[in-house]
Structures are given as C-alpha cells and as structure tokens.
Amino acid sequence: MSIGEVRASRRIVFSGLGALGVAAALAGCAGSNGGSTKTKVSAGTELATTAEVPVGGGIILADQKLVITQPTAGTYDAFSAVCTHQGLLVTSVEDGTIRCANHGSAYSATTGEVEGGPAPSALAKVEIKVDGDKILAA
Ligand code: FES
C-alpha cells in the first residue's frame, strides 16, 4: 500500500508528503461528514497500523472522525478530525500541520492547537495507544 491510497473499508484519507492531491480531491467528501463534534470509538478498537501513518503527516479516519499523526518517527498523536470552525472534517495532514481546506484553518499535528485560519479553538486530543504495529483507541 502506498501513501495516498484510500481504503474504502475503513475510509482512511491518507495524507502526508506527496499525498496532497489525494487529500484535496477527497476534501469535499470528508466535509460532508461534519456537523457532530463527537468521536465515538470504543477502547481497544484498532484504528490503524503504524505503517499507515506517515512521518510528518497523518491519516484522517472519516468514519471515526479522528486524525492520527506521526509528527516525529515513532511518536503518534490523535485528535478529533472535526474542525472547530464549522464542524466539517479536516482535510489533510502535511509538514506537521493538520489542515481544514474548507475555510483554511490549520492546527498543530503535535498539539492540535490552532496555527491559523478561522478556527476558534484547538482540536480535541484523543487518547490512543500503540501495541506493536497497531494503533488502538485507549
Ligand atoms: S470548517 Fe474547517 S475551516 Fe471552516
């Protein structure tokens, strides 16, 4: 599997270095899932594998409304993928920034804090744990 591929079964939007085109193409689809700020994932649920999350980038899990990032090699973070501006899903992760192309908000891929755009507040942090090569909801 290459970065930039979308697996329909888990609706992961891969985003990272070199995947900008795919992320942009999917922005309209992801945006239609917004509206709720709830992230519903049971503890222990496998969210992704570590190999699926590019260093410096991340993946957007549209169904779970989560974004998982790997700001530096071996460090994984997760946040709500629901933009705090108007509740649409964020659209890409690149160069350490989670972006919402809907209106131009940007968030830190490390902390979820707002880095730019109209978003009024940070993305909510979501607890995860890494078990071997699996990333699980905590
Ligand atoms: S909904 Fe994300 S910037 Fe407006």
Per-residue pLDDT of the chain (138 residues; tens, 9 = 90+): 333 333 334 566 655 443 333 333 333 333 333 444 556 788 999 999 999 999 999 999 999 999 999 999 999 999 999 999 999 999 999 999 999 999 999 999 999 999 999 999 999 999 999 999 999 999
Distance 121 CA to ligand 1 centre (A): 11
Residue extents of the structural domains in the chain: 6-137
Ligand 1 pocket residue status of 99, Cβ below 6 Å: no
Specify the residue with its C-alpha closest to ligand 1, atom 3: 103
Q: Would the pTM count as exceeding 0.75? A: yes
Give the homologous superfamily in CATH for domain 6-137: Rieske [2Fe-2S] iron-sulphur domain (2.102.10.10)
Q: How far apart are CA 17 and CA 29, in angstroms?
A: 21
Distance 134 CA to ligand 1 centre (A): 30
Ligand 1 pocket residue status of 100, Cβ below 6 Å: yes
Write the DSSP assignment of the chain as a string of letters. Answer: --TT-EETTTTEEEESTT-HHHHHHHHHHHHTT-S-------TT-EEEEGGGS-TT-EEEETTTTEEEEEEETTEEEEEE-B-TTTSPBP-EEETTEEEETTTTEEEETTT--EEESS--SPPPB--EEEETTEEEE-
The dihedral formed by the CA atoms of 132, 130, 35 and 91, expressed in degrees to the nearest 10: -70
